[in-house]
Structure 1
């Protein structure tokens, strides 16, 4: 681990990129949490999914066509949802548990926020690379030699590698960013911070739902997938900006 300089003069002599990189290395030093736990979650979901699909195949033997079975199996979103909660929690911990240590080593709040954002980006790229490789292996083995759909699911692009990779990259970065703003809000306001964000989110969703319901059919017809990309990008920017803002006045606990 590289300790950050403690004096203002030393900080001025150290390039900003080096200070940001030091924060990023501090986050990535937790290799078990960042690199190993997502693989363990994936392995558990993989085994459970295969067990369930074997049971379904036996229960419906001769009662459905291969196309019908594939369509149903692709509705399984387990591999996506299983990682979502963990990556939000990881985003919270990268800020809430690491900020006091980084501050004690002399880092500025700005450098910590930038380094955290970079660490989240690298983590999302790592997960994207691993999952895309597993999707490729699933397709090459004709769904693990038994018609088991784990990564080739509709929510992640139904087997299209480009859509799959983009979905994993954006969604994992979104989860980490949302977690980071919750962690920063907790450092700034205590338990009231995350509670206020949650209540505001529920209120916004309720207003959007009330406005959208009368035009639901028209919106469904006009819907385009890129709307989700734009929405996710906006949430990522909003979350990163919120993290920066909260950390500016956050106390070192």
Structure 2
């Protein structure tokens, strides 16, 4: 592997304890709050059956935010050190892949502990989000990792848009995305396709929805960011 790519990757993990640990501090705080809430609920109303929470989304949001920050803060510094835009983007892409895989493995371990303890002793499914749970540990890592990859590269793409066109570019991209998604919703409603859309999602295996299809988004976001970063300004 090119030494400059490795250098760019290392530059992005200089503050590894903060970069990799902070998302888990956020997750830990969310977990403790949810645990306390469910303890209070159980003490007041008794057994209520398995409970689910969407607080794990905090980790995924942190992933996207971290890579937006990478492009807005670390990118200019990297160029001042003599790294090229291409080498920096390839290096940070390597970090996205490695970090996503690390989080995926840790989430799988946390899920195993959650299962072994009966949902932390109270049927609380914090890590066991229904559509993410797989019986095979390897597939479990995959379904945790791929959405993290997608959000990481989307964060890079958003940061690259900012570096290329500034706030106008970000607003334009946001408005354009809203118009496209809104237009799609109007079309589906007009053609009365919502039933078919629901059937598609219900008939498609969860593994494909969260472990395969998001890879298309990963490829598009990564390629788009790579093409735009060549003209990005520090």
TM-score normalised per structure 2: 0.89
How far apart are the structure 2 equivalents of 1:192 and 1:121? Answer: 29
Aligned to 2:46: 61
Kept after mapping to 2: 8 A contact 1:173/1:236: yes
Larger Rg: 1
Residue 125 of structure 2 aligns to a residue whose secondary structure is coil
Aligned to 2:143: 167
2:171 paired residue among 195, 208, 219: 195
> Structure 1 residues 227, 158: CA separation in 2 closer, same or farther (over 3 Å shift)?
closer
RMSD of aligned alpha carbons = 2.0
| Offset at residue 159 of structure 1 (A) | 7.1
* Aligned residue pairs, count: 228
How far apart are the structure 2 equivalents of 1:41 and 1:156? Answer: 20
How far apart are the structure 2 equivalents of 1:227 and 1:128? Answer: 16
| Offset at residue 162 of structure 1 (A) | 4.7
| Offset at residue 119 of structure 1 (A) | 0.7
Kept after mapping to 2: 8 A contact 1:152/1:158: no
Aligned to 1:244: 226
Please list every run of 5 or more consecutive structure 2 residues that lacks an aligned counterpart in the other structure.
Answer: none
Aligned to 1:51: 36
Kept after mapping to 2: 8 A contact 1:170/1:232: yes
How far apart are the structure 2 equivalents of 1:33 and 1:231? Answer: 31
How far apart are the structure 2 equivalents of 1:164 and 1:51? Answer: 27
Please list every run of 5 or more consecutive structure 1 residues that lacks an aligned counterpart in the other structure.
Answer: 1-15
- Pick 1 or 2: higher relative contact order, CA cutoff 8 A, min separation 6: 2
| Offset at residue 131 of structure 1 (A) | 1.1
